[in-house]
Chain A
């Protein structure tokens, strides 16, 4: 079952912060975050394993709340280069080997 991402889109000014949420109805083993710029391939950002750890990639960080089966991606002090579509992918404990991606969150950072 596809995880649900919110919001679907967000517009930011350079330097502003944003949070993207990813929720699943199933028990998760890991959450994966990717960013895709228009016309390009998705690029890996980070993986979070169950255990609630928080990870960072430059000024982009994420957390994983396994009790809620939810992950959040934090864009801090956004830069123009953060623009793109962010996808979360979830790997369920009982899902075999299928990484299921959410519908994506479009982020536009304006000067």
Chain B
């Protein structure tokens, strides 16, 4: 158990819909990262927040957005969903100073299926 929690574990929805994925980092970790992993694919970095502020952005679609709240939990919002958005979405946290150079602890992931 990494100490990072993600909800929900599974999510099935239809094209065009909007969903919110939630992540609670390990106690004390200020950095939260979001990754997308499509079937049998690698990990695609989406976005990083550090203590409530956006720190780095990857190839995140405009239909996707994220935020980190004062209690440090983070939400990833996916809207106008398409079939290709079906994937495993991981959240990770780290205790470093905000740089990506530290060890990241991954949550169990949310499996999103868009029908």
Which residues of A approach B to under 8 Å, CB–CB? 2, 29-30, 32, 34, 40-44, 47, 49, 87, 89, 91, 96-104
Provide the bound-state CA to CA distance between A42 and B43, in Å. Answer: 9
Closest Cβ of chain A to B64, distance in Å, is 16
Tell me the nearest residue of chain A to B106, going by C-beta.
A41
Contacts A30-B101, A98-B56, A98-B100 hold; do A43 and B41 have CB atoms under 8 A apart? no
Q: Can you list 29 A-B pairs with a CB-CB distance of less than 8 A?
A: A32-B103, A40-B108, A41-B2, A41-B90, A41-B106, A41-B107, A41-B108, A42-B43, A42-B106, A44-B103, A47-B101, A47-B102, A47-B103, A87-B42, A89-B43, A91-B100, A91-B101, A96-B56, A97-B48, A97-B56, A98-B56, A98-B58, A101-B35, A101-B43, A101-B44, A101-B45, A103-B41, A103-B42, A104-B42
Interface of A is mostly: strand
Tell me the nearest residue of chain A to B47, going by C-beta.
A98
Which residues does chain A contribute within 8 Å of B41, judged by CB atoms? 103
Contacts A42-B90, A96-B56 hold; do A101 and B101 have CB atoms under 8 A apart? no
Closest Cβ of chain B to A14, distance in Å, is 25
Q: Are B43 and A29 in contact (CB under 8 A)?
A: no
Assess whether B104 is interfacial by the CB under 8 Å rule. yes
**C-beta contact mask, B27-71 vs A, less than 8 Å → 1, else 0?**
000000101000001111100100000011110000000000000
